[in-house]
Amino acid sequence: MALIRSQSSLTGLPFVYATWSGRDGAVDHEQVVALQEARRQGVQDAPLIAREVAGGDAAVEARALGYLRDTLKYGLGDREIAGLERFHALAVELGLASTRRPLRFFS
């Protein structure tokens, strides 16, 4: 899971911009493991990815590596989960989501 988070002035909780998510049955256990391994490998390869993106420009490489290491977060803590739940509740209240469902995590 890769995500960017920032503090929301509306809730005081982190806002999660992106997740790997899907409906029940969309992937099996082996596919979940493969996604987790892809995340692990991507985090490990951050310097290589930054170097490739930079095309030889040291300043771009440093910014890219900072972004991959410091801006993107690769997991959810209690506050991020609380933020997801709060924004989902707000979406239901505003009619942007049909029903409120509990978050479930697969491992």
Report pLDDT digits (tens) over 65-104: 999 999 888 888 999 999 999 989 999 999 999 888 888 8
Give the CA distances from residue 39 to residues 44, 60, 63, 68, 99, in Å, rounded to whole numbers and listed in that order.
9, 23, 20, 12, 30
Report pLDDT digits (tens) over 10-67: 788 988 888 888 888 888 889 989 999 999 999 999 999 999 999 999 999 999 999 9
CA 22 to chain centre: 13
Can you give the pLDDT at residue 55? Answer: 96
Q: Which two tokens stand for residue 70?
A: 């410091």
pTM metric for this prediction? 0.70
Position 7 confidence tier, pLDDT thresholds 50, 70, 90: low
| Residues 87 and 14: beta-carbon distance below 8 Å | no
